Chains A and B, each alone.
Chain A
């Protein structure tokens, strides 16, 4: 495998409300920041992750290219998935050996529609979507199967929100309180907040990485695994695909100092900690994680960016990042990042 590292990461100051920027306008800031950090204006490969249904417009990602200045023509690709999978594609592209740098970005404005119902559109159209199953109802089914201790879930939310308040990019959310249910057993605060935002990462291979960054966050392993879509065909209490992705990425070969998990519901952190076998000493979601800011389609990429930032800034020797897609953690990606020249 060719050595590939995260050498720059930037994100917007995420917002709970529509601040009026279009998606291409939102991505401008993070793009400019990673260009400045690396000094690169052109990249060997560019890949983005976004979802047309968030804006309700076909090929909305194409207009995001306006933020790049894609002339003369660039080598570009897109995934209709969280941008963590765009990073995976860019990592795979860099393995070819003919290009050394890649720009990856993701963006999403959940504030424009009803995310719970937009997510229904990702469901199987024969058995699930006609039931009007929304995202929170599905997650509540998984929470019920997990049957985690309420005190443990409350502590996850409390810790995430406190960390989010300390993170200038995340939302300022109060400590969780209230006894009411959204869809039982989920309480409103168990659910990641509606968030608009974007993020960008630059990947570089080998010597270019060492040249661009004092402490590159080397991708020691990255893998993704998926399981059956239909929830009734799975054991919702655990995530077999997250565990398989972690094994394939070599997550268990060392103890991570930091783990950034794409848990959009408090019980998902419980499931993911078990699946990834995260040791108790590891700091989980020091950024606040998705429960403090969830710019859909960028949230997973931000997990990799945040984990890499800890390595690049010398605060972690080894970090694990996780991204998820699909209902009830159907699809999981795990990346292992390490410092060192």
Chain B
């Protein structure tokens, strides 16, 4: 058994370093919430400023220029599990950021919330600490520029169904399906309507239709709907006997996978006491048990 012991290497109170005039200027400006670069003799702007031009080795000029504060992400990596020493305690990106006006890139953290928000070309701005002391961490991190916002919309209305639908619903309240026959083409529409959409003429003849019909097509729905008894439920087009246009209804009292085109169905009404001028009065359509129709 090898004995093991904990060993800590630490400079109590930290290790004091002088900054020199170039780095010191950058950190001083940072404390005042400004980002500056330094000009090289060849006219490039180094951010963060260095004392010597990395390309030529020449001393930089004494000219400082303000850059940013916005910049563009050039490349990035994603720290999905931040470590104790990292600048943020939630997942974030490390990024090389080309600040506007700079010719080199600043390495810093980007608080993007989600890795999917990161991409080269992303525009970011610094999030400053309230208390600044002249350290590169005076910028807590960078955050993406605002490119989208969420607006909430809510208005309330009092609506009426229109004259034709109101008439149809008054029939429903009595337990009958009201349709109308076009005087020009002879087609029977249900629900009841005031004009023929094919001929464009006013319809005057009212027809009372039976509560039986044939499924012409259907869909099995797997998303819950307040009007449906359970999930999955089947919504179907049912051509009521005597009508030329199918009506969309719920199908009930049969497993979803047994519903088929051509199936004969009849309306199942809510108890008379629960009926009113609303489609809630028709609970659903259920199979009649008759042989299927050709559709």
- Of the listed stretches B104-112, B204-212, B220-228, name the one at the interface; the rest are far from the partner chain: B104-112
Is the CB–CB distance between B104 and A140 below 8 Å? no
**Does A231 have its Cβ within 8 Å of any Cβ on chain B?**
yes
Determine the chain A residues whose CB is within 8 A of the CB of B115 once the complex forms. Answer: 184
Q: Tell me the complex Cα distance, A236–B97, Å.
A: 13
Q: How far is the CB of B71 from chain A (nearest CB, A)?
A: 11
Query: Does chain B have a CB within 8 A of A59?
Result: no
Residues of A within 8 A of B106 (CB): 232
Contact B23 A131 (CB under 8 A): no
Asked if A208 lies at the interface with its beta carbon under 8 angstroms from chain B, I say no
Is A53 interfacial (CB 8 A cutoff)?
yes
Assess the B94–A141 pair: CB atoms within 8 A.
yes
- Whether A130 lies near B96 (C-beta < 8 A) is no
Chain B contributes a number of interface residues (CB within 8 A of A) equal to 40
Q: In the complex, which residues of chain A have a beta carbon less than 8 angstroms from the beta carbon of B48?
A: 126-127, 230, 232
Count: A-B pairs, CB below 8 Å: 107
Report yes or no: A232 in contact with B96, Cβ–Cβ below 8 A.
yes
Residues of B within 8 Å of A137, CB to CB, are 77, 79, 86, 94
Whether the pair B77, A117 counts as a contact (CB closer than 8 A) is: no
Given contacts A56-B7, A133-B107, A232-B105, is CB(A143)–CB(B87) below 8 Å?
A: no
Nearest-Cβ distance from residue B217 to partner chain A, whole angstroms: 42
**Complex-state Cα separation, A126 to B136, whole angstroms:** 7
Could you say which residues of chain A place their CB within 8 Å of the CB of B19? Answer: 126
Given contacts A126-B136, A130-B137, A131-B107, contact A117 B83 (CB under 8 A): yes
How many residues in A have their beta carbons less than 8 Å from beta carbons of B? 37
Q: Please, which residues of chain B bring their CB within 8 A of the CB of A133?
A: 94, 107
List chain A residues, Cβ under 8 A from B47.
Answer: 232
A138 to B107, alpha carbons, bound, how many Å?
10
Q: Are A231 and B80 in contact (CB under 8 A)?
A: no
Say if the beta carbon of A125 comes within 8 Å of chain B.
yes
- Of A53, A141, A185, A227, chain B has the most CB atoms within 10 Å of the CB of A141
Interface residues of B in 2-27 (CB under 8 A from A): 2, 4, 7-9, 15, 17, 19, 23, 27
Given A141-B96, A141-B107, are A127 and B136 also a contact pair (CB < 8 Å)? yes
Which residues of A have CB within 8 Å of B64? Answer: none
B contact residues around A183 at 8 Å (CB): 77-80, 94
Map CB proximity to B onto A324-337 as digits: 1 under 8 Å, 0 otherwise: 00000000000000
From A53, A134, A185, A228, contact of B83 by CB (8 A): A134
- In the complex, which residues of chain B have a beta carbon less than 8 angstroms from the beta carbon of A130? 135-137
Chain B residues 96 to 145 lying within 8 A of chain A, measured CB to CB, are 96-97, 104-109, 115, 135-137
Contact, CB under 8 Å: B50 / A233: yes
B87 to A131, Cβ gap below 8 A? yes
Q: Known interface pairs A125-B17, A141-B94, A184-B78. Does A132 touch B86 (Cβ–Cβ under 8 Å)?
A: yes
B54 at the interface (CB under 8 A from A): yes
Q: Is the CB of A126 within 8 A of B85?
A: no
Is B218 interfacial (CB 8 A cutoff)?
Answer: no
Chain A residue at minimum C-beta to C-beta distance from B88: A132
Which residue of B is nearest A232, CB measured?
Answer: B105
- A205 at interface by CB-CB < 8 Å: no
Give a binary string over B71-85; 1 marks a CB under 8 Å from any A CB, 0 the rest: 000111111100101
Docked CA distance A18–B75 (Å): 37
* Interface of chain A residues 135 through 174 with chain B (CB within 8 A): 137-138, 140-141, 143-145
Collect the chain B residues with CB atoms within 8 Å of residue A228's CB. 50, 54
A236/B75 in contact, CB under 8 A:
yes
- Quick one: closest A residue to B27, CB to CB? A126
In the assembled complex, 21 residue pairs joining A and B whose CB atoms fall closer than 8 Å, in A order, are: A53-B9, A125-B17, A126-B136, A127-B136, A130-B137, A131-B87, A131-B108, A133-B94, A134-B86, A137-B86, A141-B77, A141-B94, A141-B107, A144-B76, A145-B74, A181-B80, A230-B107, A231-B96, A232-B48, A232-B106, A233-B46
Q: Which residues of B contact A (CB under 8 A)?
A: 2, 4, 7-9, 15, 17, 19, 23, 27, 46-48, 50, 54, 74-80, 83, 85-87, 94-97, 104-109, 115, 135-137
Given contact pairs A117-B85, A140-B77, A233-B104, enumerate 17 new A-B contacts (beta carbons under 8 Å): A20-B2, A56-B7, A56-B8, A116-B83, A128-B107, A133-B94, A138-B94, A140-B78, A144-B76, A183-B77, A228-B50, A231-B96, A231-B107, A232-B47, A232-B48, A233-B50, A233-B54
Q: Please provide the 5 A-B residue pairs with the shortest distance between their CB atoms, ordered closest to farther.
A: A140-B77, A132-B85, A232-B105, A228-B54, A184-B78
